[in-house]
Every structure is written in structure tokens, then in C-alpha cells.
Amino acid sequence: MKKSNERDKTKFTINSSVAVTLFSTLLFIISAIYISLNLKFEYWYLYITIVVCQLLVSLIYTWYILCRIDIYGSEYNTKTNMKLILAIIFLELLFLNVFAFIYGLYSYIRIFYRTKQII
């Protein structure tokens, strides 16, 4: 019963991490559009570059965490996969999505240690 409860908590952590990442990315895109249109920022092409990169990183993170993390503890949860997720989380910070970065770190710690204990 304990393993089932831990799996449910891990599944909730994964789903909430995806929701937070997508929501904060959406807010990031809206704020970048608002700043570039209303404040007449002269380097508007930087916003487009950052927004496109941020959107790609968020989509890669979402795909990877949904498809590659196995809460049942099979061989998918290797250190290589978890290190790649950590690298993607730090890319969130690099492209200025701070809230997704903070929640991503929180989720990484919960997922990594929970799935190690389930095995």
C-alpha cells in the first residue's frame, strides 16, 4: 500500500510540474508581448528569440517528464535521464522562466528521491 501511495504522490508531482511549467510559460509569453508592444522596447527581436527558446524548452521539458519518467521504477529512471531533466530545468532559468525553474527543482527532488525509494 505504501508503494501505491508514493506512486500517486509522484504522479501528482509530475502533473503539477507540467501544469506550472506550461502556465508560467504562457504568462511569460503574454508579458513579453505586452512589454514589446506597449513599452516600445527597441530590441524587440530579443524578446522573440527568448520567447521562442523558452517555449521550446518548456515543450521539451513537458514531453520528457511525461514520457520518460516511469513512476513504477523501471530502467527509465536512470541517473542519465534525471541529469538531463535537471539540465532542462536549468535551461528554464537561463531563458528567464524563474517560477518554472524553482518548481522544476522542487519536482526534480521529489520525483528523483521518491522513485528511488519505490524500486
- For the chain, the domains span 2-118
Q: Single out the residue of 23, 25, 17 nearest to residue 114, CA to CA.
A: 17
DSSP state of 108: H
pLDDT-derived band at 75 (thresholds 50, 70, 90) equals low
Q: Single out the residue of 93, 54, 87 nearest to residue 46, CA to CA.
A: 54
Percent of the chain's residues with pLDDT above 70? 83
DSSP string, 46-114: HHHHHHHHHHHHHHHHHHHHHHH--TT--TTS-HHHHHHHHHHHHHHHHTT-HHHHHHHHHHHHHHHHH
Instruction: Give the predicted TM-score (pTM) of the model.
Output: 0.80
